[in-house]
Chain A
Amino acid sequence: MTIVGMTGDEAVAFAVKQSKVDIVAAYPITPQTIMVERFSKYVADGEVQTEYVCVESEHSALSACVGASLTGARVFTATASQGLALMHEMLYIASGLRCPIVMGVANRALSAPINIHGDHSDMMGSRDSGWVQIYVENAQEAYDWTIQAFKLAEDGEVQLPVSVNLDGFILSHLLEGVDVLEDEAVSRFLQLRKPLFTIDPDKPITVGALCLPDYYFEFKRQQVEAMQNVPRVLGSVNKEYGSITGRDYGVLETFGMEDAEAAILCLGSTAGTARTVARKLREQGKKVGVIKLWLYRPFPTGDIIAASKRLKALAVLDKAVSFGAPYGALCSDVVSALHTQLERPQVFNVVYGLGGRDIEPSDVEFVFEEALRTSETGVVKEPVVFLGVRE
């Protein structure tokens, strides 16, 4: 066991280094910068064989990644916020051309007003782009999921791009101890990418051809299928990774859900705070629990139904706002997932942390108390709570 002190960004860069990536094309943006800064140092120092392509924008970064991925290369990029917004057009091209690119995203609020701090509005705005989305809780998870992301993305049944999301600053810049693998162990786990097609002058192919109403729909259906394959493939990826690290991953992680009556469902670093508060409340005899999603796309509908079977109330925490929608994106998905169940918890939405506003244990405790009150009365007082916003 080797523990190394790393920030979340550094943990991603180190995982990418060990994943023997052929091409990195990226553009620096706060709070993702350290990922590409650290990786470019590995390149400059000759520690990796990777070709680092300096580009003039995020749109070009992902365009270069798509081209590189289509040649059969293992490809990584990273971005945040406005950079992801600028990539938006290319996100769909990467998934539509079935490029298994892995992207680190240090989640950050979108302008305007300009703000560099962490919330999930960047990636939530890209949730229908055909990318697998993973959210991590700490630097260890950032490292572990980045390595696993390559294996998932490049699987023959998947062949989709994967984003590994870490909360801007809270995770991207926080120094933590990370238990890292030996280089050889990562190489054995990942092996070489086996691309769908190869570049061969004797057997030319066309990619990115025009596809009209008579064919386009079929290719979208293929992408739906690939997304549906993700949980099954992820299961075997997690199992194999667990066998070499002893760390168990899955589509979600629960705490206290065996007997919880009220729970919080959230993504990323907030789960740590929620777990700490839940532990305290459980010591007081309050039946509370936490559901943390690692996988947000594809949405683990069945697992959420199973995890919330005994629940009476569920507070879904959205670190992004979906203007004009009934709930934040995550809560809308949870409500959709549960609506087929005859017995389901009362769900309410908590929008929090926009522009990086801190969520304190006392805030989480307020949400748990509200969920407990809902579980007792069976009535949702306020469908969407804007936590900690000044009137």
Chain B
Amino acid sequence: MKPEEKKPGWKSLPMGAAVLEPGSSLKYKTGDWRAFRPVVDKGKCVNCLLCWIYCPDSAIVRGEKCVEVNYDYCKGCGICAAECPTKPKAITMVEEQK
């Protein structure tokens, strides 16, 4: 995981928790919520895109031959691994290490 970035203090934040910049949710990275991370085995992935359809956080990135995971936003819910149809699975959940 990335070292924690310096966050603004109460004196500089807008009053009432208002978000003044539209479309700024991309700046709020939720990847550090993960306890397990999905890992794609590129050799097994058939690029069926079921994980891309099911991912509730749009954290699966499409590629030419196989998918990748955007770890900035992947919360580690494991739906992609559960839905992965290949046998054995191309996506497996691996415990995060500090």
Are B19 and A206 closer than 8 Å at their CB atoms?
yes
Question: A159 interface residue, CB < 8 Å from B?
Answer: yes
User: Do A219 and B16 have beta carbons less than 8 Å apart?
Assistant: yes
B-contact 0/1 string along A194-208, CB 8 Å cutoff: 001100000111111
Residues of B near A204 (CB, < 8 A) are 22
B1 to chain A, nearest CB (A): 14
Interface check B26, CB cutoff 8 A? no
Asked whether, in the complex, the Cβ of B19 is within 8 Å of the Cβ of A96, the reply is: no
Shortest CB–CB separation between residue A159 and chain B, in angstroms? 6
What separation, in Å, do the CA atoms of A313 and B29 have in the docked complex?
A: 58
Q: Is the CB of B22 within 8 A of A96?
A: no
Contact B18 A197 (CB under 8 A): yes
Q: A221-B10, A222-B10, A225-B10 are in contact. Are A215 and B16 (CB under 8 A)?
A: no
CB-based contact A215/B7 at 8 Å: yes
Q: Is the CB of B19 within 8 A of A205?
A: yes
Question: Looking at the complex, which one of B7, B9, B18 makes contact with A205 (CB distance below 8 Å)?
Answer: B18
A159 lies within 8 A of B16 (CB): yes
- A215 in contact with B13 (CB, 8 Å): yes
Query: Among A203, A214, A219, which residue has its beta carbon within 8 angstroms of that of B17?
Result: A219
Interface string of B55-91 (1 = CB under 8 A from A): 0000000000000000000000000000000000000
Contacts of A76-110 to chain B: CB distance below 8 A: 96-99
Residues A219 and B19 in contact, CB atoms below 8 Å apart: no
A44: Cβ under 8 A from any B Cβ:
no
Total chain A interface residues with beta-carbon distance under 8 A? 22
> Which residues of chain B come closer than 8 Å to A206, judged between CB atoms?
18-19, 22
- Is B19 within 8 A of A218, CB to CB? no
Query: Chain B contacts of A211 at CB under 8 A?
Result: 17
How many positions in chain B have a CB within 8 Å of any CB in the partner chain? 12
Number of A-B residue pairs, CB cutoff 8 Å, is 49
Give min CB distance, B26 to chain A, whole Å: 13
Once bound together, how far apart are the Cα atoms of A67 and B8, in whole Å?
27
Establish whether residues B16 and A207, one from each chain, have CB atoms under 8 Å apart when the complex forms.
yes
How far is A99 from B17 in the complex, measured between Cα atoms in Å? Answer: 12
Q: Which of A97, A197, A205 contacts B22 (CB 8 A)?
A: A205
User: Which chain B residues border A214 with CB–CB below 8 Å?
Assistant: 7
Rounded to whole angstroms, the CA-CA distance of A205 and B20 in the bound complex is 5
Q: Closest residue of chain A to B13, judged by CB?
A: A218
State A206–B24 Cα separation when bound (angstroms). Answer: 10
Which of B8, B9, B20 gathers the greatest number of chain A CB atoms within 10 Å?
B20
The distance in angstroms between the C-alpha atoms of A196 and B8, with both chains bound, is 19
7 closest cross-chain pairs (CB), A and B: A98-B16, A206-B19, A218-B10, A221-B10, A204-B22, A97-B16, A219-B17
- What are 24 inter-chain pairs, A to B, with CB distance below 8 A? A96-B17, A97-B16, A98-B15, A98-B16, A159-B15, A197-B18, A197-B20, A203-B22, A204-B22, A205-B19, A206-B22, A207-B16, A207-B18, A208-B17, A209-B17, A211-B17, A214-B7, A215-B7, A215-B13, A215-B17, A218-B8, A219-B10, A221-B10, A222-B16
Q: Contacts A97-B16, A215-B7, A221-B10 given; 14 further ones with Cβ under 8 A?
A: A96-B17, A97-B17, A98-B16, A196-B15, A196-B18, A197-B18, A197-B20, A203-B22, A207-B17, A208-B17, A218-B9, A218-B10, A219-B17, A222-B16
